[in-house]
Amino acid sequence: MSSATARSGSPATPDSAASRQNLPPGFMPRRARPRVRPRVVAGFALVLLAAVGAVVVGLLVGPAHISVAEAVSALARRLTGKVDLLNWRETVVVGVRLPRVLVGFVAGGALAVAGAALQGLFRNPLAEPGVLGISSGASLGAVLAIYFHIAGKAVWLLPACAFAGAALDAVLVFAIAAHLGRGRVFTGTVLLVGVALMALNISMTTFVLSISLASYNVGREVMYWLLGGLEGRTWDHLLLGGPAVVVGTIVIAAHARDLDALLLGEVSAQSVGVDVPRVRMRLVLASALVVGAAVAVAGPIGFVGLLVPHVLRLAVGAPHTALVPLSFFGGGIFLVIADVVARSLSADLPVGVVTAAVGAPVFLALLVRRRVEVAGP
Amino acid sequence: MSLVEVSGLTFGYRGAPVLRDVSFAVGAGELVALCGPNGAGKSTLLRLLLGLHAPAAGRVTLAGTPLPSLSRRQIARHAALLPQDAPTDVPLSVREAVALGRLPHLGRLQPETADDVEAVVRALAATDTTALADRPITELSGGERHRVHLARALAQEATLLLLDEPITGLDIAHQLAAMDLLRATASGGRAVIVALHDLTLAARRCDRVLLLAGGALAADSSPAEVFTRETLARVFGVRADVRLDPTGRPVLDILETVEGSP
């Protein structure tokens, strides 16, 4: 449609039938169909392919050499119920690598989705999962579980304690923010309370770390957890973190258009029917849920939540209908591949080191080339 | 039936009264100017009509239904508000921003229908922004951005259109075009309430003037009855010549501030 045709169109009247009759012959809005942007479709296709690719690579790479055929047949045997317990390759693929890859995918996806939601919600490009103070709460829970030797009693206890820490922190943040706002929760207050609790959590975590250094093993385990890693992650971790991440991600994705509307400012968002206080509450709670679950099962992994949404925004633009689901897959792929790199470099290099080592320079490059908007509101 | 009815509306921010006992009703087809000096409560009144504040007393009724019994989404299908100060750093394209006007008509995960796309196309054409459709809002001039926000409010297709200073920052041609557009919108069966600082334009283009002064409704009548020398001096503190053109509309010539006024 050319601008010349459009300019000659008569002013719109609210009655659509009437205005259609008033339009000049060359003007045919009927041709307009729901637009699905080709870039977004291509992006989704690419991302789904890459996700499958990343999982396959994650299954194949490691100290034990396993071919594609062996991995596929091991998976097929498990799926058909013909378990071969004596086949060590099957144990490595299904019992060790697959849960590790899936936990990494879910955690990476969760961090990126939360980052995308929080950057939109706070209208701040530097918002990331840490700003709610939730991940530091999870860290404190995990570190206490290790220090008091709770973590050793069952595999699921460490992530459960971390999740409890995150949940307690979220409740505290909201209770204090609601108290300060006389019953209403304001995003600015949530940020400030989150930052204050984060400082408190970090100081307590550091305190536990310093006293745990008295024992080499405990100190090493605490340190290792704080760096964020996927080593030894099991199906228990996936069962604990997975459902929370899926639920939170669906809630965030369902509010994608509300996030777009919030970009126009609070009053405009309300004008187009967004119940801003309620939507903000839901989005912050959903973000807290996915971040708590992700940090509980994978440790405090940095830069995924900041970097992935920014990179994807360059590819598909700011609208959250595409950005939120793509962030889930993008974050998952990024973390799985970073874990493969970590495993390949050294047997016990935590994946958090790789995400930061890759993420920070990439983010800086984006900043320098001004591809990431630095000016906040 | 009135599209919006206000009775005894009273409101204050933290005890400081802003509006006192305001009552009026606006029906389909009316283009109403909301005038008054700075701080008279114009923006607050528009927000109250959208239910963004809870009134201390009185009530607002949209198309026969009291505001408190409507959800935010239902309100959005009845009324659209174009706020005065929209952010300038919106990282969306013009089309994406205008399409957000369709939000109250869409289910959470429902894709846009052909009707939604058409409404956006019409709103773009009506505001002369079709050529800008695929540009990022951040690259537009202030006036262009203003028209984009106006397009968003039109795309919403609400029966009551509330606009807070929609022509401030537009060049004179686009100011007149915007007022013509509001006129056409009202004539098409909607009600339009527009807060205006430009009294000359309000007098020339609107059917009716709501004049707010000190939080109270000082006048609610035709431009000819509201914009008199006395009222302009009393409410705005300006000395003006007012004459009527052949159609009976007042033509204002605002000369100077009255001694001792702001």
Q: How confident is the model at residue A18 (pLDDT cuts 50, 70, 90)?
A: very low
Q: What is the pLDDT of residue A371?
A: 56
The pLDDT of residue A304 is above 60: yes
Mean pLDDT, residues A69-74: 83
- Who wins on pLDDT, A29 or A188? A188
Mean pLDDT, residues A104-108: 96
Candidates B72, B86, B109; nearest CB to A254: B109
User: Checking DSSP bridges between strand B250-257 and strand B191-195, what pairing results, if any?
Assistant: unpaired
The pLDDT of residue A375 is above 50: no
The pLDDT of residue A374 is above 70: no
- Please give the Cα distance from A178 to A190 (Å, whole number): 9
Mean pLDDT, residues A235-241: 90
Mean pLDDT, residues A87-106: 88
User: Checking DSSP bridges between strand B57-62 and strand B65-66, what pairing results, if any?
Assistant: antiparallel
- Among the listed ranges A57-61, A279-283, B256-260, which one has the minimum average pLDDT value? B256-260
Q: Does the CB of B67 have a partner CB in chain A at under 8 Å?
A: no
Torsion of CA B25, B31, B36, B40, to 10 degrees: 50
ipTM of the complex: 0.91
B122 to chain A: which residues are within 8 Å by CB?
Answer: 9, 12, 16, 19, 29
Asked if B130 and A3 come within 8 Å (Cβ–Cβ), the reply is yes
The pLDDT of residue A328 is above 60: yes
* Residues forming a β-bridge with B194: B33, B163
Burial class (CB in 10 A: 0-12, 13-18, 19+), B134: exposed
- Who wins on pLDDT, A377 or A159? A159
Q: What is the pLDDT of residue A36?
A: 56
Mean pLDDT, residues A5-30: 39
Distance from B119 to chain A by nearest Cα, in Å?
Answer: 8
Q: What is the pLDDT of residue A205?
A: 93
Distance from A125 to chain B by nearest Cα, in Å?
Answer: 11
Distance from A307 to chain B by nearest Cα, in Å?
Answer: 17
Asked if A9 and B125 come within 8 Å (Cβ–Cβ), the reply is yes
Asked if B156 and A272 come within 8 Å (Cβ–Cβ), the reply is yes
- CA distances in angstroms from A17 to A12, B43, B187, B202, listed in the order given: 11, 33, 15, 30
Q: Does the CB of A375 have a partner CB in chain B at under 8 Å?
A: yes
Chain segment B168-194, per-residue pLDDT in tens: 878 898 899 889 999 999 998 999 999
Best to test chain B binding among A271, A275, A276, A279 (most B CBs inside 10 Å): A271
Chain segment A332-373, per-residue pLDDT in tens: 999 999 999 998 888 778 888 899 898 888 888 877 876 555
Chain segment A107-164, per-residue pLDDT in tens: 999 999 999 998 888 877 777 877 778 889 989 999 999 999 887 788 788 888 988 8
Residue of chain A whose Cα is closest to the Cα of B135: A317
Domains along chain B with CATH numbers: 4-257 (3.40.50.300)
Q: How confident is the model at residue A7 (pLDDT cuts 50, 70, 90)?
A: very low
Q: Does the CB of B255 have a partner CB in chain A at under 8 Å?
A: no
What letter represents residue A174's amino acid?
F
Asked if A6 and B113 come within 8 Å (Cβ–Cβ), the reply is no
Q: What is the pLDDT of residue B160?
A: 95
Around A336, how many Cα atoms within 13 Å sit in the side-chain half-sphere? 29
Q: How confident is the model at residue A302 (pLDDT cuts 50, 70, 90)?
A: confident
Chain segment B226-241, per-residue pLDDT in tens: 999 999 999 998 988 8
- Please give the Cα distance from B72 to B174 (Å, whole number): 32
Q: Does the CB of A313 have a partner CB in chain B at under 8 Å?
A: yes
- Who wins on pLDDT, A79 or B49? B49
Residues 259-288 in A contacting B (C-alpha not used; CB under 8 Å):
260-261, 263-265, 267-268, 270-275
Share of chain A above pLDDT 70, in %: 88
B110 to chain A: which residues are within 8 Å by CB?
Answer: none
Q: What is the pLDDT of residue A373?
A: 54
Best to test chain B binding among A272, A283, A371 (most B CBs inside 10 Å): A272
Q: How confident is the model at residue B158 (pLDDT cuts 50, 70, 90)?
A: very high
Q: How confident is the model at residue A27 (pLDDT cuts 50, 70, 90)?
A: very low
